[in-house]
Structure 1
Amino acid sequence: MREPLLKVESLTKAFPIRSGLLKRQTGAVQAVNGVDFHIDAGETLGLVGESGCGKSTTGRCVLRLIEPTSGDIIFEGKNVRALDGGALRALRRDIQIIFQDPYASLNPRMSVGAIIGEALVIHKLAKTGREFDDRVVSLLETVGLKADHRTRFPHEFSGGQRQRIGIARALAVEPKLIICDEPVSALDVSIQAQVINLLEDLQQKFGLAYLFVAHDLSVVEHISRRVAVMYLGRIVEMAESRALYASPKHPYTEALLSAVPIPDPKVKRQRIRLSGEVPSPANPPSGCHFHARCPIAKPLCSKEVPKLKQSADGHWVACHLR
Structure 2
Amino acid sequence: MSEPLLRVWNLTKQFPIKGGLFGRQAGSVHAVDGVDFNVDRGETLGLVGESGCGKSTTGRCVLRLIEPSSGEIHFEGKNVRRLQASELRALRRDIQIIFQDPYASLNPRMNVGAIVGEALIIHRLTKTRRQFEERVVNLLETVGLRADHMGRYPNEFSGGQRQRIGIARALAVEPKLIICDEPVSALDVSIQAQIINLLEDLQQKFGLAYLFIAHDLSVVEHISRRVAVMYLGRIVETAPARELYTSPKHPYTEALLSAVPIPDPKVKRQRIRLQGEVPSPIHPPSGCHFHTRCPIAQFPLCSSQPPALKQSADGHWVACHLR
TM, length-normalised to structure 1: 1.00
Q: Structure 1: how far apart are the matches of 2:131 and 2:42?
A: 28
Q: CA deviation at 1:250?
A: 0.1
Q: Structure 2: how far apart are the matches of 1:67 and 1:259?
A: 34
Q: Structure 1: how far apart are the matches of 2:185 and 2:85?
A: 33
> What does the per-residue CA deviation read over 1:228-253, in whole Å, with 9 as the maximum and x for residues that have no partner?
00000000000000000000000000
Q: Map 1:42-191 to 2 at 5 A.
A: 42-191=42-191
> What does the per-residue CA deviation read over 1:89-148, in whole Å, with 9 as the maximum and x for residues that have no partner?
000000000000000000000000000000000000010000000000000000000000
Q: CA deviation at 1:23?
A: 0.7
2:36 is paired with a residue whose SS is strand
- For 1:20, the aligned partner's letter is G
Match of 2:24? 24
1:314 maps to 2:315: yes
Q: Structure 2: how far apart are the matches of 1:232 and 1:85?
A: 31
Task: Tell me the C-alpha RMSD between the 2 structures.
Answer: 0.3
Match of 1:248? 248
Q: Structure 1: how far apart are the matches of 2:49 and 2:30?
A: 16
> What does the per-residue CA deviation read over 1:165-200, in whole Å, with 9 as the maximum and x for residues that have no partner?
000000000000000000000000000000000000
Match of 1:236? 236
2:27 is paired with a residue whose SS is strand
Give the 4+ runs in structure 1 shifted more than 2 A: none
> What does the per-residue CA deviation read over 1:149-180, in whole Å, with 9 as the maximum and x for residues that have no partner?
00000000000000000000000000000000
- For 1:6, the aligned partner's letter is L
> What does the per-residue CA deviation read over 1:245-269, in whole Å, with 9 as the maximum and x for residues that have no partner?
0000000000000000011111000
1:217 maps to 2:217: yes
Q: CA deviation at 1:287?
A: 0.4
- For 2:42, the aligned partner's letter is G
1:306 is paired with a residue whose SS is coil
Q: Map 1:274-289 to 2 at 5 A.
A: 274-289=274-289
How many residues align? The count is: 322
Q: CA deviation at 1:84?
A: 1.5
1:290 is paired with a residue whose SS is coil
Q: CA deviation at 1:26?
A: 1.2
Q: Structure 1: how far apart are the matches of 2:135 and 2:43?
A: 26
The unaligned stretches of length 5 or more in structure 2 are none
1:305 maps to 2:288: no
2:59 is paired with a residue whose SS is helix
Identity percentage of aligned residues: 83
> What does the per-residue CA deviation read over 1:195-240, in whole Å, with 9 as the maximum and x for residues that have no partner?
0000000000000000000000000000000000000000000000
> What does the per-residue CA deviation read over 1:46-98, in whole Å, with 9 as the maximum and x for residues that have no partner?
00000000000000000000000000000000000000211000000000000
1:253 is paired with a residue whose SS is helix
Q: Structure 2: how far apart are the matches of 1:23 and 1:176?
A: 42
Q: Structure 2: how far apart are the matches of 1:276 and 1:123?
A: 50
Q: CA deviation at 1:271?
A: 0.1
Q: Structure 2: how far apart are the matches of 1:107 and 1:54?
A: 26
TM, length-normalised to structure 2: 0.99
